[in-house]
Structure 1
Amino acid sequence: MIFKIKTKGHKNVSSHHKSTFEITKDPEIGPTADCIIGVNMDNSMNDFSDDFKSKIANKNTKITVILSTENGYDEITGFGHENLTLSHPTDIVCRKSDYTCPRTLMINANKAACDLDEKLVDDLKNEKVMEVIIKV
């Protein structure tokens, strides 16, 4: 199953966070938001189908997030968990840790904001459009 989101970068994207990365519906981020890599996303977890949510709410489900911009590309893998409610209306967070909250899409991810492709991050700093593909 696949779910697609369009988002865009922001001049304050720094991509320095060591344990998470986030995309949000919010149009603005401050200079200290070092985990947020995309703003103005067109869909949220509230738009996931019930079947998609049930697959993610399983600790054995491998989740792949593909991020692509004009010049950059990255793939991040992690896992679902039964405690993932996938209910936050504006934010989607991927975590290297096993922490769960309504904003969490996946845990035990292999990358955080600081690990992302340099060309991808440069595009996001220059406010380019990013396609996000979530596969389960």
Structure 2
Amino acid sequence: MSDDADDPHVEVVRAVGHENVTAEHASTVELTTDDWLTPAGDCIVGIEADRTPRDFSAEFREACRDADATIEATFVVDAGDDEYRETITGRGDPELTLLDDRSMVGRTSDYTDDERTILVDGDGAAADLDRDLVAALADGADLTLRLEVDPAE
């Protein structure tokens, strides 16, 4: 694996879980910079994100605007003695702006009509995440989201 810090096609976001993380949403998964979460936020798996799509490099954002690009969102949860890792794979889209300064959303649909969508046609959403991973987030575990875009050749 390459050194992520030097890879223009990788972005890493750090966040934490929250007692209201339920990850029950069937079509989206979200991280937010907010420091709170209501029970209604059933797609949100991490709060206090240290970066937003607006912080991503121009090269990363541009690569995500290719409909043939593959985008992998790998969720790594550090729960002390246990580490959970799960990847949702989707694709890019010419309509992705990746300019939101508050949150980021992966989608199972092809909906792109906002600045926070980070991938479309994902093969999973919050509800598909491993329940042990979700339980660790509900206990406030640390979350690292590694986004990698693989541009079409």
What TM-score, normalized to structure 1? 0.98
Would you say 1:91 and 2:99 are equivalent positions? no
Q: In the alignment, which of 114, 117, 130 is matched to residue 104 of structure 1?
A: 117
Residue 11 of structure 1, aligned match among 14, 19, 25: 19
How far is the alpha carbon of 1:120 from its aligned partner? 1.1
Alignment of 1:36 onto 2:36: no
Deviation of 1:133 (Å): 0.3
Instruction: Tell me the CA shift for residue 103 of structure 1.
Output: 1.2
Distance 2:68 2:22 in 1: 32
Q: Percent identity?
A: 33
3-state SS of the aligned residue for 1:10? coil
| DSSP 3-state at the match of 2:26 | coil
List alignment gaps of at least 5 residues for structure 1.
Answer: none
Please list every run of at least 4 consecutive aligned residues from structure 1 whose deviation after the TM superposition is greater than 4 angstroms. none
SS at match of 2:135: helix
Contact 1:37 1:113 in 2 (8 A): yes
C-alpha RMSD of matched pairs (Å): 0.7
Q: Flag structure 2 segments of 5+ consecutive residues without an equivalent.
A: 1-8
Which residue of the partner structure matches residue 132 of structure 1? 145
Q: Give TM-score scaled by structure 2 length.
A: 0.87
Q: Is structure 2 residue 123 aligned with structure 1 residue 115?
A: no
SS in 1 for 2:66: coil
Partner amino acid for 1:122? Answer: A
Give the Cα–Cα distance (whole angstroms) in 2 for the partners of residues 88 and 44 of structure 1: 6
Answer whether contact 1:72 1:121 (CA < 8 A) is retained.
no
Which has the larger Rg? 2
Q: CA deviation at 1:135?
A: 0.5
CA–CA distance in structure 2, aligned partners of residues 35 and 48 of structure 1: 22
Aligned to 1:68: 76
Does the CA-based 8 Å contact 1:72-1:118 persist in structure 2?
A: no
Take 1:19 and 1:43, find their aligned partners in 2: how far apart are those partners? 23
